[in-house]
Amino acid sequence: MNRNDIRIGLFGFGVVGQGLHTVLERTPGLRARIGRIGVKDRTKARNLPAELFTFDRDEVLDDPTLNVIVELIDDADEAYRIVTGALRRGKAVVTANKKMLAEHLQELIELQRETNTPLLYEAAACASLPVIRNLEEYYDTDLLEAVEGIINGSTNYILTAMHRDALTFAAALRKAQELGFAESNPALDVEGLDARNKLVLLLAHAFGLVARPEDILAVGITGISDLASSYAREKGLVLKLVAEARRLPNGGVAAAVLPTLVRPEHELARVQDEYNGLITQSNFADRQFFLGKGAGAVPTASAVLSDLSALTYGYRYEYKKLHQESTLALTPTDAEADVLVTFGAEHAPDRADFSAIHEYFHSQELGYYLTGTIGLDQLAQAAWLRLPGISIVRLPTPLRAVTTAPASETGPVVRAAWATDEAVSPL
């Protein structure tokens, strides 16, 4: 594709689609024009000439004057049909649809190879942050130990607004939606599923590991209790939704999306509003930190623009790490995390699931909590995690390999009274 002759068949003219239109108008270095736009709603007023728009997918895909397809719709199933249809026609594709990518990644990797046609998706993980190409090109899998970050802009916006501006969860979500940061289905954001979809993409490019989204534990921010917030405040910790993937010493990889208490001096503690932050941990370079806007029209479109530019240089993902000999696998049975579990009088976590319980506490006003260590696999399978009134937050320690240290002979500490409340053992 020639840098002076990019003719785009665009699908979607919402937040990001319109952002791309704006960005292209302000980018003289790239001669790209939008030739046709596929949308869905026939009744919507558009701010571009009506003849640009169509409601027929094939009219765009089959148009011989268009040499690249940019897919920016919010319907993952239709996005899958568009992207596979374009690749089968030999048309290069740029997409921002992480849900569609995560659900079909293996197949889409194979389809790129079969059709010898590139599919780029920098905007799908961390929006404006150039993480996919960096993970793919710069970091060698032998060196990279972990990626850890805030990779969902709207939940970070919500948590910031609740903590800093004292907004309720509902008011903060509404504001994120008004500003175009939230997915049209907010459950994807607040249940941690969008972050999990992005973690699938990071795993592929960081470690050459293609996982299915459902194989990764994801806990969102909807159930966070007042007691967990009080605990965070009392300890001076900051609550964030953190996605993490970490190599384990036995050759496996631990991955999860969990609400996490972060120490104030940690890089992620200063990631505010719709910003995303990603830390890479590697053997020789040590820690590196990417920080930038993780949602919004123009920042997200900037990553789409960068992909369009990359196509003009013949760039494609080679998935190098996937083809290296020692393939890695997710091994949740080998990993554990330290957690704070809050609960009420009705339902309690099963103490047998924990390899250690460090502390119990009961507040007359706010309920019970315990802190303990639990395997990722036990946590993923714990039926109690889905019971009403139980919520979980990770304590500020990384995911790690299961330790075989003997249980403490003294047993858990029953914490001394907090404020005016009694310390009791609920289990």
Ligand X SMILES: NC(=O)c1ccc[n+]([C@@H]2O[C@H](COP(=O)([O-])OP(=O)(O)OC[C@H]3O[C@@H](n4cnc5c(N)ncnc54)[C@H](OP(=O)(O)O)[C@@H]3O)[C@@H](O)[C@H]2O)c1
The residues that touch ligand X, with contacts defined as CB under 6 A, are 11-17, 38-41, 44, 72-75, 78, 96-98, 123, 127, 180-181, 183-184, 295-296, 300
Query: Residue 401 in 3-state DSSP?
Result: strand
Indicate the residue among 80 and 343 with the shorter CB distance to ligand X.
80
The distance between the two most distant Cα atoms of the chain, rounded to a whole number of Å, is: 76
User: Distance between CA atoms of 188 and 100, rounded to whole angstroms?
Assistant: 12
* Residue least distant from ligand X (Cβ): 14
Indicate the residue among 145 and 189 with the shorter CB distance to ligand X.
189
Indicate the residue among 149 and 208 with the shorter CB distance to ligand X.
149
Indicate the residue among 75 and 359 with the shorter CB distance to ligand X.
75
- φ, ψ of residue 245 to 5 degrees: the values are -135, 130
Indicate the residue among 100 and 322 with the shorter CB distance to ligand X.
100
- φ, ψ of residue 331 to 5 degrees: the values are -130, 75
The number of beta carbons lying within 10 Å of the beta carbon of residue 368 is: 22
For 20-28, which contacts have Cβ atoms below 8 Å and span 24 or more sequence positions?
Answer: 20/70, 20/72, 20/301, 20/304, 20/305, 21/48, 22/297, 22/298, 22/301, 23/298, 23/301, 23/302, 23/304, 23/305, 24/305, 27/305
Which residues form the catalytic set?
198
Strands 144-150 and 400-401: unpaired
Give the containing element (helix H, strand E) for 71: strand 68-71
How far apart are CB 274 and ligand X at their closest, in Å?
8
Do the Cβ atoms of 38 and 66 come closer than 8 Å? no
Indicate the residue among 12 and 372 with the shorter CB distance to ligand X.
12
How far apart are CB 380 and ligand X at their closest, in Å?
25
How far apart are CB 153 and ligand X at their closest, in Å?
6
How far apart are CB 270 and ligand X at their closest, in Å?
21
The number of beta carbons lying within 10 Å of the beta carbon of residue 327 is: 13
What's the half-sphere exposure (Cβ side, CA atoms, 13 Å) at 200? 26
The β-bridge partners of 243 are 149, 257
How far apart are CB 301 and ligand X at their closest, in Å?
9
How far apart are CB 132 and ligand X at their closest, in Å?
12
How far apart are CB 285 and ligand X at their closest, in Å?
27
Indicate the residue among 41 and 409 with the shorter CB distance to ligand X.
41
- φ, ψ of residue 162 to 5 degrees: the values are -70, -40
Burial 61-100 (b: 16+ CB within 10 A, else e): bebeebbbbbbbbbbbebbbebbbbbbeeebbbbbbbbbb
